[in-house]
Every structure is written in C-alpha cells, then in structure tokens.
Amino acid sequence: PTSALESASQVTAAKVTSVQLTQQALDAIAEHEDLGAFLHVNADVAINHARQIDERSESDDSAEDRPLLGVPIAVKDNLCTSDMPTTAGSKVLENYTPPYDATAVQNLRKAGAVIVGKTNLDEFGMGSTNEASAYHVVRNPWATDRVPGGSSGGSAAAVAANLVAAAIGTDTGGSIRQPASFCGIVGFKPTYGLVSRYGLISYASSLDTVGCLARSVDDAEAVLMAMAGGDASDATSSYHRDDANNTGGGDMESTRFALVGAALGEGVDSGVSAAVRAAAATLESLGATCDGDVDVPNFEDALPAYYAIACSEASSNLSRFDGARYGPRASVEKGASLQSMYDETRGSNLGEEVKRRILMGTYALSSGYYDACYKRAQQVRTLVRRGLDEALEGRTCLLLPAAPTVAYKLGEKTDDPLAMYAGDLMTVPASLAGLPAVVIPCGMADAGDGTMMPVGLQLIGKSFSERELARVAKALEKAIAFKGL
C-alpha cells in the first residue's frame, strides 16, 4: 500500500505488519540515496519500534483509535527526536541528539506512526531550493537536475519518490507549499498554533508552523490532525478545534471562492497561470461559485515585510548557537576572549545564506533602523492580514499558484538570492496572516526547455478551517486526477 491511511488500515486488520512496511520504506530510502532526501536513518530503531507496534496491536483494543498505526513517516531534521540526531541541516549542530521529542513527533508516535528517518533541509529552514543544506543538496524526483523546492525539500522528495507515504515539514514562508508544488504532491500548512512548535528549532517564531506532505489530501489531513492540539509547553499553541473537527460533506454547492489576481499576472509563467485557471474552472464545474479575480489589498507588500520580520526573528533565535551549549566548538588561541570563540564557531559552522539573513535581521533591529524596518514590517503585516480577511469574507477559500514557476535547475538561482526570495511571493501572505493553506498538484507546465514539471494549486482559507479546505481540495483532487510518479 502507498497510502498512509490504507497502510494503517491493513496493519489494524493484520493483513500486513508494521515491520514489513518499515522495511519496505528503509529499502526504498537506501535504493534512492542519490536523491539526498535524508540526513539520518536509524534502521534498527525504526524496525524495533515497528516490532513493538505489531506486538502491541495484537492485544490492544484501542488499535483502531490510532489512525497512523504502523505507518512509516519521515520527519524534517529541524524537529527534535530523542533517538536520532537533529541538525537543522547545519554544521553548528552536527551530531547533536536532543534529550526529548518535539510535541508533533510525540503526537505522531501516539497515533502509531514509525519514524524512519530525518529529512534534509535548507540550513535552519532558510532557503527555497534545498541547496543551502550544509550536508548535500536534494534532487527533484521528477527531474534530478532540478531543485525540489525548500526548505522542506527532503520531505517533499521522499514523498514524491514513494520512499514514505507521508513526511513532516515546517512552513515559515512557504517551506511546505512550494516544495509540494515543485514535486507534484500535497502540502498542508495549518493555522498558526494548530500544531505545537515545542521541539522545533526556531527560524522565525511568529511565523513557524509544523505541517505535512503526502500524496493525497486524505493522508495529509490525517497526519496533520494527528499532530494537532494545544500544548502546555507552547504558549502560542491553540486548543481551538471546533472548525478543524467539522468534517463537512462533498457537496460543492455551498463553496464560494475567488482567484487572487495579483498572483496570476506579470512574473508568473503562462503554463502555471493556465493550470491554475483550469483548476478553478474545474472547481466551478463541480458546483462551486467563482467570483473571478479579486484584488487582495497589500498582497504584494507581504514579501518585503516577511523578510524583514523573519530575518529579525532569526537573528535573535540563532544567537543561541555559539559553541558553548550545542554542537562543535571552534578552537581558539589560549587567552582568547569568549567572544572570539563565539565568532569563530559561528563563522566556520554557519552557511552563507544563514549569515546573510542574520545580518539583514540584525540591521533591521539596530538602533535607528528599528522603526523604519521591523516596526514598519509589523504594521504591513497587520494590513496583509486585514486584506486576506476582507477577501475571504463570504468565501470558502482563495485560489492562487504556490509558486510563479515550476521547479528550476540546480544552481540556477544560487548566485541571485533576490530572485530566489521573489519566488515566495505567493506563499508569504498566508504565513504573515497565520492562515491555513493547502497545495495540490493541478497539472504540468513546460519548464522552458521542453521538460514538463508539476504545477501546484494553493488554497488559502480562514483560521482553523483545515477541514473545510481539505473538503474542497479532495473534490478538486478527484476531478483533476493528477498522476504522480
């Protein structure tokens, strides 16, 4: 079985064992090591956990209450795991193994999932191509000379290549949705606070969310809801589950949506906009009401505001990585100052993209620039949220691409960080507003050289409307019938 829910059902019915599924996943990971999707795999721990699940499920009457029973799942390497290293894709945390599991990982284990490995990512989640990993790049399974997207590129590649049925990612400004688009799979970013951030190595604390990637909306929804819930260890987590538990129905008559005009105009590949508009027409043919293109106030202002806020928070969060508490410590001359040890440790163990964002953030927070940069960005953030709320008034969701292009070639944008940042235009508004969004594959488009690559359709909904978004996404998914790898 390739579906997470189907796998769990078969384990529950004793038609297959968790050990068999886990071994199958481990074999696939080893066979496709060239993709670079994983940073750590602990086969012995995974098989042992799977064996415990099989032994327990034989006598446990509550097995059916565990929706992911025996299912192998991969976890992005910026979420703490007590039985595997957690490096956040950085040399500054090389070989670091946390003493505890992140709450999201704990909840997955409670749901019966088997963690088979930790997936590659851009260092500390800072990047859109997965080329900023300190260890190795990740390749797109559709075309291995192309990027899988980032920063959850390892998780996306693992799912797209059928190595695992589902993988956990994190989304700060599009790090689940853009890789899902590039790799032709489903990516689900929840409402900010729906899933606890406890145990997540922070990039930008007011923006970070934990979500998932899968090959179907059903699987993505099941994994997301298994992780969701309030957590006393995370003051920003929410116990609000009313809307999230509303399963709704398959009828599209009550669905009203609009397209974000600014996301379908200049700068967007014609193949991408055509695929998104075709998907909108499909949704309308299912009975939904389309309000056409709408103007979302301050939509295009979200990108500079996002980078000012995210980099500012990163410059604060990453100050803890100084060689005194975690990871390797640089050698300095006898009698050298403590500050020189900090400087040498960070200088030799942090990557160029991370340093760039720390510098931008420190500048934005510096005396004399705080009001002009960080404070102004927070004011724009409020306007972006109001604009999206206004556009969603009386509507179920907004439709737009997840990225302005399909996956581009490895190395194509490494020397032009501004061009890479511009690719986040479609995803950062929902992040600034803390709104849920799901991406589903909606077609293929020419990458410019005759190579056909997947296009992702993004649906943005109101706060805690995950179930409603999933309902619409499932209907579209069935109608489009996209064929993955």
Active site residues: 76, 151, 175
Pick from 142, 387, 150: nearest CA to 263: 387
Q: Which two tokens stand for residue 406?
A: 């399909």
Whether 73 contacts 167, CB under 8 Å? yes
Alpha-carbon gap, residue 419 to 218, rounded angstroms: 34
Alpha-carbon gap, residue 227 to 113, rounded angstroms: 11
Pick from 30, 20, 70, 65: nearest CA to 49: 70
Pick from 15, 26, 52: nearest CA to 7: 15
Q: Give the list of residues 6+ apart from residue 135 with CB closer than 8 angstroms, or none.
A: 39, 87, 89, 120
- What SS3 state is found at 234? coil
Element (H, E) at 178: helix 177-183
Alpha-carbon gap, residue 21 to 11, rounded angstroms: 9
Element (H, E) at 362: helix 352-365
Burial class (CB in 10 A: 0-12, 13-18, 19+), 97: middle
| Pairing status of strand 209-214 against strand 166-171 | antiparallel
Q: Give me the phi and psi of 44, to 5 degrees please.
A: -65, -45
Pick from 172, 166, 174, 181: nearest CA to 213: 166
Pick from 262, 204, 148: nearest CA to 432: 204
- What SS3 state is found at 159? helix
Q: Give the list of residues 6+ apart from residue 281 with CB closer than 8 angstroms, or none.
A: none
Alpha-carbon gap, residue 180 to 368, rounded angstroms: 40
* Max CA pair span of the chain: 74
- What SS3 state is found at 290? strand
